[in-house]
Amino acid sequence: MAPPTGGYPARAALTGGARAATQRTPTQRRTRVAESDNVCSLDAGNPAKLPRPLVGIDAEAVYGSIHEEAPCDAPTSPTSPSTSPTERDVAREKNAARQFLWTTMDAALLRPGELAASLPLPLAAVLTPFADSADFTSLPISMTGDDEPLRCPRCRCYANPHFKWSMKDNAKFQCNMCSHTLDVPQKFMDDMERNGQCADADTHPELVYGSVDFTAGALLEEELQRPLCPFVCFVVETTPWAIRHGFVSMALEALQRAVEAPHPLERPVCLVTFDEIVTFYEPTHSGRFRAVVMPDLDDPFLPVIPETLGVHLQDPEQKGSFLELLASLQKEYSKATWLQEPTSPFCKEGDPFHLHDETQDVASTAVLRTCVQALTTMGGGDVVLFQATVGESWVGDSDSAPEADDPLSPKTPKTPKTPKTPMGTPLKKKKKRSFLEQMHRTCCRTGVAVSAVTVAREGCDATKLHWLPWRTGGDVLHVPSFGPGAGQNMAQHLQHWMRKMQGSAYNCVVKFRCSKGLSCKSLLAPWPAAASAADQSAFEVPRLSPEMSVTFILRPEIETDPEEDYSRIRDRKSLSVQAAILYTNSKGERLLRTHTRSLTVPNSVRQVYQSVNLAPLMTVLLKQAVAVALDPTQSAKIPRDLLLESCLQILGTFRRRCVEYATKNCLVINRQLLLFPLYVLAARKLLYSLTSSKEDKAQVEESLHRILRMPIHSVMVALYPRVYPLPADSPEGVDLPRASAALEEVVTRGTAPAHLITNGLGMWYHQTGAPEREKELREAASELAERIREVLQPSQDWVPLTDLPRLPTALEEKIGQEATPSRRPRYGSRTPSINGSPPSLPIGKGADQISWPEKVMLSAIFVEDAGVTEGSYADWVIFLQEQVAQRVSESS
């Protein structure tokens, strides 16, 4: 069986029924060759033969090599003797690479209109604009100087490889988006004539490559004229509670370890602390630091010149001085604990840290305002908050409503025209924005991202502290407890964040454009779309790091004009989408990046299903379910049921419209969707694990927001975990050893003495034998874990290695039906039991000692086994086959 498209080969076997279905008369066989070659059946009678992923977890395995992608409109045949290998490579690069821009389908059905509108397959584009980082980019750059990049004056899309010379005028280009002819500047023409009217990759790479950077000198705003390197400001809360519980010491120690890392930030950093006042630490000429206090909480101001706060970690002397500052502060605050009477670090009597004063005001509002103000002066950057207290201004729902000019991009007029109001109409008073909304607006204007390290504290809602980081492109780390290893975990996350900062883009303005025949429907991202974009095709965000992705939901434009030229519609061979991103890199350079991709226009539903890309399709479906889980207005909907309904509609439509002869008691499916049932089952288990097994609301929202920003390769690893035997012996030239199936039996009864399991969100070590080799096996697990972290890049966060919860040791005993804490059936509200009996869960003698969250987590790891939330993979295939058959019979 040939592997399905999208870089996901799978193992599957056609059942005997499927072979019998293809044994027809010679005439039928000739007329149905295309169908039989692309249709197969899944038989749950032999679970070992069910398809499962066999590829690796690295990005290249998921996205595939660029040489595997064929162009939609290659200029010449690959077999032509006049076509050199270089020309063929250039043709393959006319579309943006999948890691940058990947659509759920490579085709969009436009006719007939009713059929195109009723297709259950979502058409969407997953955009990860800086997958190769914003600094160390492999993309070519087009040097436009002071001129604006060439673009279509009608639809405003930028020049790309799908532009064509006009058939009527050889001095004009024809836009691939709107078919408009545009004049070509004389300088552009001169460059083209020197290359014989051909695109030159050196002078105009935008006509050769689907992804390219432009110099954006002509697009610079007034406030961004001078190139500035982004700044990093570390802010640590030093309130009595934070000091007594060791949060301050832990934060300073983690920051010290991160700064000592071998790859420091190539940008200035500074340190700020706050309790009832805000303290800035300004370096002096002697190499030490002086504390500058800002005591005014009602009207905060910046007490120092921002340029004087910066410490360059590349300078050994400045780095050493900064580490001495962190060490001295850590020593001072570590003396003050709640187990002993507080004493002054300066040998003075009293309570200098106010450890017994719990009613003091916390300057969390003032410190955020002043730090954002300082970074605005420095050209933007990152504010990293170590915070445990929620200020009064952060609490409570916002009493403001969205306004027409919120948020404003740097290129949007600051004083938009007021619409005309009829005489006598009372003017509506604009509601005042909340503090968080004001800060979000300011951060979007100035390119300042906020990240937060928070801790679980009784009476404090940490989700309020996470609201701003998720919407400004920052990072979030929530520490549920101060247990052993919490400080090391925080330090590792900080190091990972600092590496991401170096490759991030700042002050980003994103616009997504579609060619005629397509339109943007909605945006899936942690931040809102721009108010000026009614179709949600544009947004601005202070920072985009290499692993951040957003999803644009598209829809075909159904034209019902009876006078439309049918021949013109029939001759429309392709459609195009383009993402344009205006950004600033860490060197302070203002650039414009474009990613362009083309789609074909099919003539049948079967061709649409053949063009499906499974990886982005599952990513979109999972993120849509996560968006519902995060939306409080849709609390009545169960996200897992949305996945089930989408799965049944997609499989049912394929069975009804693309298959005429089906094998009884088998799930008929096309090769592109061969792994679709398995991934939907895994997504349901993962969603339940993220939403229902954690008591901390902040942890739940943190996990869901991570999924919403994940790139495609991280999502696919999260859906199907990998099991690696230990000790790990990798073949020569391979980064990781061959992984086993995600089955509990592999871990408990495998030949290896230990295993390492990972889904990209966590890594777990489990040892079943050879206790005398535990030290050796754990060292091998640590080494393999480090290799996995490197392979998973770019990734959201540093993935820790922990011990797997206790596993059942015997598979003979079974448990009956077990209800969840919400008293829902094991399959949720929609899925019934299989054959009238509940699915079984392998459980051992020590299973009664496993907690409910551990059971749920094990179900999400061993996705093919029956768990406490869902049945097994084989039972799931049987259930889908019954439901699809029922729907097909009802519609016929």
pLDDT at 462 over 90: no
Helix (H) or strand (E) holding 381: strand 381-386
Say yes or no to pLDDT of 743 above 80. yes
* Dist CA 599 CA 104 (whole Å): 11
* 3 state SS for 475-525: CEEEECCCCCCHHHHHHHHHHHHHHHHHCCEEEEEEEEEECCCEEEEEEEC
pLDDT digits (tens, 9 = 90+) for 263-304: 768 889 999 999 999 999 999 988 899 999 998 888 888 999
The bridge status of strand 164-165 relative to strand 722-726 is unpaired
Contact in structure between 454 and 478 (CB atoms under 8 Å):
yes
| Joined tokens for residue 488 | 């090391």
What pLDDT was estimated at residue 25? Answer: 41
Beta bridge partners of 125: 103, 552
Cα separation, 161 vs 597, whole angstroms: 10
Residue 456's contacts (CB-CB under 8 Å, 6 or more residues apart) are 462, 478, 479, 480, 481, 696, 698
Q: What angle do CA 21, 22, 27 make, to 5 degrees?
A: 125
Q: Residue 809 pLDDT more than 50?
A: no
Q: Which tokens sit at 207?
A: 């006509």
For 96-154, the pLDDT digits (tens) are 999 999 999 999 988 887 888 889 999 999 999 999 888 867 788 988 877 888 899 99
The rounded distance, in Å, linking the Cα atoms of 544 and 449 is 9
Please tell me the chain's helix, strand, coil percentages from 3-state DSSP, rounded to the nearest 5.
35, 20, 45
Contact residues for 383 (Cβ-Cβ < 8 A; gap 6+): 233, 235, 368, 371, 372, 375, 448, 449, 450, 451, 474
Question: Is residue 207 within 8 Å of residue 164, measured between CB atoms?
Answer: no
Closest listed residue to residue 38, CA positions, set 889, 654, 573, 873: 654
- CA distances in angstroms from 693 to 699, 700, 818, 820, 892, listed in the order given: 10, 9, 15, 10, 42
Answer for the pair 876, 681: CB distance below 8 angstroms, yes or no.
yes
Bridge partners for 279 per DSSP: 273, 293
pTM summary value: 0.85
Cβ atoms within 10 Å, residue 85: 8
3-class SS at 552? Answer: strand
What distances in angstroms separate CA 549 from CA 448, 530, 552, 723, 851, one per listed residue?
A: 19, 17, 10, 27, 35
Task: Please state the separation of Cα 525 from the chain's center in Å.
Answer: 9
- Which helix (H) or strand (E) segment holds residue 542: the answer is strand 538-544
Strand 538-544 relative to strand 101-103, pairing: unpaired
Single-letter residue type at 456: A
Sign of CA dihedral 676, 865, 701, 278: negative
pLDDT of 834 above 70: no
Asked if residue 765 lies in contact with residue 778, where contact means CB atoms within 8 angstroms, the answer is yes
CA 589 to chain centre: 25
* Collapsed DSSP state (helix, strand, coil) of residue 281: strand
DSSP state of 632: G
The average confidence (pLDDT) of the chain is 79
Position 46 confidence tier, pLDDT thresholds 50, 70, 90? confident
What b/e sequence results for 637-666 when a residue is b if at least 16 CB atoms lie within 10 Å of its CB, and e otherwise?
ebbbbbbbebbbbbbbbbbeebbebbbeeb
Q: Which domains does the chain have, with CATH numbers?
A: 91-223+505-604 (2.60.40.1670), 231-400+435-502 (3.40.50.410)
Asked if 719 contacts 679 with a C-beta cutoff of 8 angstroms, the reply is: yes
Distance CA 183, CA 169 (A): 10
Number of neighbours of residue 48 by Cβ within 10 angstroms:
9
Distance CA 249, CA 326 (A): 10
Q: Residue 359 — very low, low, confident or very high, per pLDDT cuts 50/70/90? A: very low
Give dist(CA 704, CA 828) in Å, integer.
Answer: 19
Chain-centroid distance, C-alpha 323:
34
Tokens found for residue 809: 């040791």
Using a pLDDT cut of 90, give the percent of the chain over it. Answer: 42
pLDDT band at residue 431, thresholds of 50, 70 and 90?
low
Query: Does 82 score more than 90 pLDDT?
Result: no
Instruction: Give CA separation, 721 vs 55, 62, 679, 703, in Å.
Output: 12, 14, 11, 17
Position 37 pLDDT exceeds 90: no
Residue 348 has a pLDDT of 41
The single-letter DSSP state of residue 561 is: -
Region 685-702: what's the mean pLDDT?
A: 83
Span of 99-108, 309-318, 453-462 with lowest mean pLDDT = 453-462
pLDDT-derived band of residue 339, with 50, 70 and 90 as boundaries? very low
Judge contact between 159 and 206, C-beta under 8 A: yes
